[in-house]
Structures are given as C-alpha cells and as structure tokens.
Amino acid sequence: DSGVTQTPKHLITATGQRVTLRCSPRSGDLSVYWYQQSLDQGLQFLIQYYNGEERAKGNILERFSAQQFPDLHSELNLSSLELGDSALYFCASSESTGANYGYTFGSGTRLTVV
Amino acid sequence: AQSVTQLDSQVPVFEEAPVELRCNYSSSVSVYLFWYVQYPNQGLQLLLKYLSGSTLVESINGFEAEFNKSQTSFHLRKPSVHISDTAEYFCAVRNSGNTPLVFGKGTRLSVIA
C-alpha cells in the first residue's frame, strides 16, 4: 500500500456521461498530480494541485477539470466522455513541489467508456 | 519542453542474464532523473533516482542507473535478472523548479525462465 488511495478502481460508463475520480494523497503530502496512461500516449501529465491551488496544467482537455479540497483530497471530473477517454488514470502525491521530491502513485482508476 | 525517450518498447531476457534498459532525455541545464517500475495491475513505484552527487545510483533490489550528462542518458542496468523483475519500467525526468515529471513511454521487461 503506497498510501495514496484512488477510488473507484474500475469504472465503466457510456459515451457522453460524466464521472468523478477521487484521490486521497499520502499523509503529509500537499501536492497532488493527475496522469492519464494509455497504450498509445503513455503517461501524460494532466494537472497538479498544491495545498488547494492549481499549480501546473498539462495536456488536460477542456472537458476535464479537477480540484483539491481543504482536506487535501482531489477529484478529477471527466465529462462528455468519448471512447478515446478510456485509460488508466493515476493520482500521485508528493510532500512539496520541489523538483527533488519523488512522487508516490496510487494504484489507478481504470476507466472504460463504451 | 522536456522529453524522454525509451528506445526499447519491449526487452525479453533470460533469467540470470544481464539487462540494460535505455533512457535518453532532452538536454537541460539541471535535471532530476527517476526510474519507476509498474507491476501488472499496480501503480508506479519509485525504483531509484538521481538528484545530484555520484552519477551511479542503486536500488535495493540490484538495479543501478548511471547519469551521463554528455550523452543525456540515464540507462538502467541489472547484472542478473529474476522472474520477479518482469514489469514495465518508466524513465522520468524533471527540471528544477515546479515542473511536473515527464515520463518515457515505458519498456516492458519480460524475464524468461
């Protein structure tokens, strides 16, 4: 157990729907990162939050949004889902934002859009 | 923007043989380098990292990687692999400051008995 908790582990939904993925960071970690892992694109950085504030944005679609709450858990919202959104979504956390801090990853949420 | 190239998508190797997984990154003034391992149906786990100092870094399970600034490489090696090393290995790089980790596309290591 890495200490980063992601729920749900699996999610199957239809095109056009909206889902919410949840992440609880490791105790003491203030920074949360979301990544999308697909076979063709590999691991793509989506977005980062630090202590409730957005800090960096990557290849995140406008249909996707995220937030980090006062208790530091984070949610990734995916709307108007398309077949191509099927992927593994990982959350990672780190103690701070410095480049020398490694990430601790959760076990991921596998999203299947049908 | 920073990028990472893992030259081999799949590497099959016999048990107890040596292995090298290659990783090159785009040049930058200062970088921090990481190798992560992903076992089937699991998240990524940090294997080892280079932050500064000695260019050779080691993990607890026998892997090592060497930072080569002139060749912008951070290849991962193990002198003798085990069946349990079968997994996907990701090289990642981060510049100084608050830039997120950038990952390579991964190398699937398959150890054959």
pLDDT in tens, A74-112: 999 999 999 999 999 999 999 877 767 778 999 999 999
Largest CA distance in chain B: 44
Mean pLDDT within B36-57:
90
CA dihedral A74, A90, A97, A61 (to 10 degrees): -80
What is the residue whose two structure tokens read 């699991």? B42
Query: B12-37: per-residue pLDDT in tens?
Result: 999 999 999 999 998 667 788 999 99
Burial class of residue A33 (count of CB atoms within 10 Å of its CB; 0-12, 13-18, 19+): buried
Residues of chain A with Cβ-Cβ distance to B34 below 8 Å are 102
DSSP state of B61: T
Q: pLDDT-derived band of residue A45, with 50, 70 and 90 as boundaries?
A: very high
Pairing of strands A87-94, A109-113: antiparallel
Taking a C-beta distance cutoff of 8 angstroms, is the pair A52, A68 a contact? yes
Test B43 with A107 for CB contact under 8 angstroms. Answer: yes
B97, B100, B104 member nearest A48 (Cβ): B100
CB contact under 8 A, B34 and A102: yes
Closest Cβ–Cβ partner in B44, B100, B104 for A105: B44
Give which of A20, A48, A24 is closest to A34, Cα–Cα. A48
